Structure 1
Amino acid sequence: MGEQFKNITLDNLDSEHLCCAIADKKHQCGVTTKKSWMKDRIDEGHIFRKLDAKGKVFIEYAPLETAWVPVNGDNFLYIYCLWVSGSFKGKGYAKELLEYCIADAKEQGKSGICVLSSKKKKPFLMEKGFMKKYGFVVADNIEEYELLSLSFDGTKPAFPDSLRQRKIENNILTIYYGMQCPYIPNCIEQVRNYCENNDIPLELIAIDSLEKAKSLPCIFNNWAVFYNGKFETVHLLNEGYLKKLLGV
């Protein structure tokens, strides 16, 4: 199956689709934004590997040192996303993609691989049961969120202590967001419109540098939500989920 996959490079980035938002017109702005973000990441070792087909089948990972997440560790790869959907499920594609990442990590002499997950399955996070089959174990956790790790040398990554408080001084709805995911611009638009139309105070904080990402006060893959000063979720918010969060 290996010949059916391809990596996004600087040479093909503009012409290749990013399969996570392949068919939805409302997310095309997000695709453009993500491609712009990726242009500066590829030379850092950022990998986006996908099935050469019109479908959502891909893995995306980067060296932990340059991954836009608040995770500490030396010489690890960090997996942002591994996604196989629809009719492509059950064909071994997720296995092939993860095994590619593992082989790549070993070839680069990495200490291991890590990924954000949770005790119970959550949208937008890696499924723990699948990763356990390949030797991933819990390296660290903050309440329901878990940092899974496959270590080759016994070392392990960890969440910074600054994440454990899960609080900020601001009590209004506060969202930290990056541009690594093409769904985010539309989510921001829905949240902003709903809050403006219903007089709900909102603060949007763009994570637009590696330094900001590494110094965040919360669990983060590309999105994080606080309400009443308390960390709530890394679940991307559309209008419906926002109403649920606000209890309206």
Structure 2
Amino acid sequence: MNTDFINLTADNLADEHLCCIIRSKKLHPGVEAKRQWLSERLKEGHVFRKLNAKATVFIEYAPLETAWVPITGDNYYYVYCLWVLGSYKGKGYGKLLMEYCLADAKEKGKSGVCMLGAKKQKSWLTDQSFAKRFGFQVVDTTDSEYELLALSFDGTTPKFAQNVKNQEIESKELTIYYDVQCPYVYQSIDSIKQYCEMNGIPVSLVPVDTLQKAKELPCVFNNWGVFYKGNFETVNLLDIAYLKRILKK
């Protein structure tokens, strides 16, 4: 078992493989947008730890105060993503990555670690049953069945920002809030834009490009949030089949 892990830094960011499974010999715009986004976040204490291989084995987390999510709390880490894929699954890599994050949080004197979950496991979210084995518990919920999971070291807990609770907006057209943290966002936005243009479907694509915008979002958010007819739909990235199901509502 290869246990050679590395953390991305300002010095190695330009040259390191970013782990997500987009494969392209040319520079991929989604990957490069993620790289640029990370270059600013690393200055804020953001951590991207990966297996030292061209593999999808990594964890990504940040201080909650500077995490681009509408969650409030003091002195927590927020886990954006923990992903182990392919032949690396089932070999303990996820456990090693989570243990590193928890140990890092304790060493830094954090009050705990939190992450986004749901009553029923959602795509594009870290496996909450895995997190619960480490002691994560549900500390807040929304009306749309999303949950905030936290492992507290001192009894304090984070919570969803109040602006998240109603999960509604005034606009009735398809509305997608997104940032560029995930390399897949770029291609999902591109395909949705093309489909909507070809079929005359009004769509509002709203870039979340500052921390303040992220904290003030009207929905749970990990890097993506979809509304239709004024109602929140999902944090899942959309392919065209999924988009069609939403538009039939």
Q: Normalising TM by the smaller chain, what interval?
A: over 0.9
Mapped contact 2:114–2:149 kept (Cα < 8 A): yes
Aligned counterpart, 1:20: 20
Counterpart for residue 159 of structure 2 = 158
8 A contact 2:76–2:114 mirrored in 1: yes
1:49 aligned residue: 49
TM-score, normalised relative to structure 1: 0.97
RMSD: 1.5
1:89 corresponds in structure 2 to 89
**Aligned pair in 2 of structure 1 residues 115, 237: CA closer, same or farther (>3 Å)?**
same
CA contact (8 A) 1:58 1:83 kept: yes
Consecutive aligned runs of 4 or more in structure 1 exceeding 6 Å deviation: none
- 1:78 corresponds to: 78
Counterpart AA for 1:13: L
Provide the residue aligned with 1:202 in structure 2: 203
Please give the TM-score of this superposition, normalised by the length of structure 2.
0.96
Q: Which runs of 5+ in 1 are unaligned?
A: none
- Asked whether 1:239 is paired with 2:247, we answer no
Task: Specify the code of the residue in structure 2 equivalent to 1:11.
Answer: D
The unaligned stretches of length 5 or more in structure 2 are none
Other-structure match for 1:213: 214
In 2, are the aligned partners of 1:174 and 1:205 still within 8 Å (CA)?
yes
Bigger drift between 101-110 and 233-242 goes to 233-242
| Residue in structure 2 matched with residue 7 of structure 1 by the alignment | 7
Measure, in 1, the Cα distance between the counterparts of 2:6 and 2:167: 39
Query: How far 1:101 moved relative to its partner?
Result: 0.1
**Structure 1 position 162, deviation (Å):** 1.5
The alpha-carbon distance between structure 1 residues 22 and 186, as it changes in their structure 2 partners (threshold 3 A), is: closer
Mapped partners of 2:241, 2:24: distance in 1: 18
Cα distance in 2, alignment partners of residues 241 and 27 from structure 1: 28
Name the residue aligned to 1:58.
58
Whether the aligned pair in 1 keeps the contact of 2:6 and 2:51 (CA below 8 Å) is yes
Percent identity of paired positions between Structure 1 and Structure 2: 58
Q: How far apart, in 1, do the equivalents of 2:103 and 2:22 lie?
A: 27
Contact 1:27–1:186, Cα closer than 8 Å, also in 2: no
